[in-house]
Structure 1
Amino acid sequence: MIRLIRPYRPEDRAATLLIYYRAIMEGTAEVIGEAERIAWAGTPEIDPITEDKLTQQWCWIAEENGRPTGFMSLCPDGLLDMAFVIPEVMGKGTASALYDVLLAKARAEGLPRLTVLASAFSRGFLLKRGWQIDSEGMQEYDGYLYHLSRMSLSPV
Structure 2
Amino acid sequence: MTLTLRPLRAEDYRDAARIFFCAVHDGTRHAYTLQERRAWAGDSIDLPRWQTRLASLTGFVAVENAEPVGFMAMIPDGHLDLAFVLPSCAGRGIGRALLDAVEARARALGLGRLTTHASLAARPFFARQGWRVMSEETVLRAGVSLRRFAMDRQLGDARDQPCDIRR
Q: TM-score, normalised by structure 2?
A: 0.88
Other-structure match for 1:34: 34
1:143 Cα deviation from its structure 2 partner: 1.1
Other-structure match for 1:44: 45
> Which amino acid letter does the alignment assign opposite residue 44 of structure 1?
I
Other-structure match for 1:126: 126
Give distance in 1, aligned partners of 2:31 and 2:133: 19
1:139 Cα deviation from its structure 2 partner: 1.8
Q: Deviations over 1:96-141 (max 9, x none)?
A: 1111100111111110221111111111111111111111132211
Change (3 A) 1:62 1:51: closer
> Which amino acid letter does the alignment assign opposite residue 11 of structure 2?
E
Other-structure match for 1:12: 12
1:35 Cα deviation from its structure 2 partner: 1.1
Give distance in 2, aligned partners of 1:11 and 1:122: 26
Cα root mean square deviation, aligned:
1.4
Other-structure match for 2:153: 153
Give distance in 2, aligned partners of 1:136 and 1:106: 24
Other-structure match for 1:68: 68
SS of equivalent to 1:15: helix
Give distance in 2, aligned partners of 1:151 and 1:66: 32
Other-structure match for 1:85: 85
Give distance in 1, aligned partners of 2:132 and 2:119: 14
Identity between Structure 1 and Structure 2 (%): 37
Q: Deviations over 1:13-50 (max 9, x none)?
A: 11110000000001111211011101111222412x67
CA contact (8 A) 2:11 2:51 kept: no
CA contact (8 A) 1:14 1:45 kept: no
SS of equivalent to 2:139: strand
Change (3 A) 1:123 1:50: closer
Give distance in 2, aligned partners of 1:50 and 1:6: 19
Give distance in 1, aligned partners of 2:66 and 2:59: 17
SS of equivalent to 2:121: helix
CA contact (8 A) 2:116 2:151 kept: yes
CA contact (8 A) 1:119 1:148 kept: yes
Gaps in structure 1 of 5+ consecutive residues: none
Tell me the number of residue pairs that the alignment of Structure 1 and Structure 2 aligns.
Answer: 155
